[in-house]
Amino acid sequence: MPAQYYEIRLCSSCGLRYPLVEDHPFGTRCPSCLGETECVRREQHGHESPNIRDKRSKGSGLGVLLDNIRSAWNVGAIFRTADGLGASKLYLCGITPTPENDSVRKISLGAEESLAWEYFRDGRRTAMKLKAEGCGLIALEQDVRAVSLENSQIVDSQTPVLILGNEVTGVDPDVLDLCDQIVHIPMAGQKNSFNVEVAFGIAAYQLLYGKP
């Protein structure tokens, strides 16, 4: 259970200002210089705005297929974002770590307990199964067939499943061939792509809530 209060503390030696959660095991010494600090403000932790929870029915149908994501930190972050967007289920495939991994649980902050997930060894077979069940497969990938994310559409008659692939090699080519749509995020800077968990948040939100 998260701490109920946190303090803003100020170091009298080096001037560092930082938050300290209640019952933190490191005490009140400055984390930078180990000097004495004083509490300059105390606030309730995790206080919610009355409008923070927006139950949107569109989000409840989104599936997410993670095929050979190698980073447990990325997977944990995607769990947390998927829960926040109201996704229905995560399909973890290949070498993608599951919530049995400590790092996944640490980063997801409990989202793995509220969001359904299942592990499969073969992402291609999983995609084929979902397609046969009537799901609309949407891959997030840089590909000659890809359309800009802002021009993508979800077919109302299909349950959308957003597919993300390996951080280095991308979505399996055989999985791409199964997809109903391939979308990409236009980049404005020098880099060609976002980190996979950042890209997931952008794409999932746009697909679900970016259209009227």
d(CA 190, CA 17): 34
Question: Residue 132's pLDDT is what?
Answer: 95
In a shared domain, residues 33 and 66: no
Question: Residue 1's pLDDT is what?
Answer: 44
**Is 139 a domain residue?**
yes
**Stretch among 38-47, 57-66, 97-106 having the lowest mean pLDDT:** 57-66
In a shared domain, residues 134 and 61: yes
**Is 52 a domain residue?**
no
In a shared domain, residues 169 and 102: yes
Mean pLDDT of 169-184: 95
Contact residues for 196 (Cβ-Cβ < 8 A; gap 6+): 69, 71, 74, 78, 164, 167
Mean pLDDT of 52-72: 75
In a shared domain, residues 72 and 11: no
| 17 pLDDT tier (thresholds 50, 70, 90) | very high
**Is 150 a domain residue?**
yes
In a shared domain, residues 191 and 99: yes
In a shared domain, residues 101 and 14: no
In a shared domain, residues 136 and 159: yes
**Is 116 a domain residue?**
yes
159 burial via Cβ count (<10 Å: 0-12, 13-18, 19+): middle
In a shared domain, residues 191 and 92: yes
In a shared domain, residues 124 and 196: yes
**Is 51 a domain residue?**
no
Question: Residue 126's pLDDT is what?
Answer: 97
Question: Residue 58's pLDDT is what?
Answer: 45
In a shared domain, residues 38 and 73: no
**Is 119 a domain residue?**
yes
In a shared domain, residues 19 and 70: no
- Domain range for 18 is 5-44
Kindly report the pTM of this predicted structure: 0.81
**Stretch among 42-51, 111-120, 139-148 having the lowest mean pLDDT:** 42-51
| 22 pLDDT tier (thresholds 50, 70, 90) | confident
Other beta carbons within 10 Å of 7: 19
**Is 50 a domain residue?**
no
For the four alpha carbons of 77, 107, 80 and 163, in that order, the dihedral sign comes to positive
- Domain total for the chain? 2
CATH number of the domain bearing residue 76 = 3.40.1280.10
**Is 99 a domain residue?**
yes
d(CA 186, CA 205): 15
In a shared domain, residues 145 and 194: yes
d(CA 132, CA 39): 59
